[in-house]
């Protein structure tokens, strides 16, 4: 059975890059670009991992992460926050909201792959 990831990101180039990197590693990547209903997409898709952009149209990544953590079905889901804003304050807010891993843009392909693999190791 393959590994399934939901990528919540509104930048087409980032979506394309991450989808390419991870699909080559055996992941099925479903992307979504609107923050307003992102938590519902995560609940419906039941992924192994979520990559969540911080700044999205409709709702912030912090708010989406809090929604994911508040739902029993998704409370323990590994979520990586991806952002161009890497200030200590941003990292602290993400940690308070329950992020599993925090990564800043730009990132290397190897860094992305290593982080996702660590969040959902093959058993």
Give the model confidence (pLDDT) of 51-107 as tens digits.
Answer: 999 999 999 999 999 999 999 999 999 999 999 888 899 999 999 999 999 999 999
82: which 2 tokens?
A: 């991806």
Domain spans in the chain, listed from the N-terminal domain onward: 3-118
DSSP state of 108: -
The pTM of this model reads: 0.95
CATH topology classification for 3-118: Rossmann fold (3.40.50)
Can you tell me the mean pLDDT for 31-43? 97
* pLDDT at residue 1 is higher than 60: no
- Which pLDDT band holds residue 121 (cuts at 50, 70, 90)? confident
Mean per-residue pLDDT of the chain:
94
């Amino acid at each position: 059975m393959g590994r399934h990831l939901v990528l919540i990101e509104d930048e087409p180039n980032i979506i394309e890059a991450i989808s390419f990197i991870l699909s080559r590693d055996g992941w099925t990547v479903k992307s979504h670009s609107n923050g307003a209903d992102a938590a519902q997409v995560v609940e419906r898709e039941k992924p192994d991992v979520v990559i969540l952009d911080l700044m999205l149209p409709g709702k912030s990544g912090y708010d989406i992460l809090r929604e994911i953590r508040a739902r029993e079905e998704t409370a323990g889901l590994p979520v990586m926050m991806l952002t161009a804003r890497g200030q200590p304050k941003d990292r602290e807010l993400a940690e308070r909201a329950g992020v599993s891993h925090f990564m800043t843009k730009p990132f290397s392909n190897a860094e992305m792959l290593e982080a996702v693999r660590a969040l959902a190791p093959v058993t």
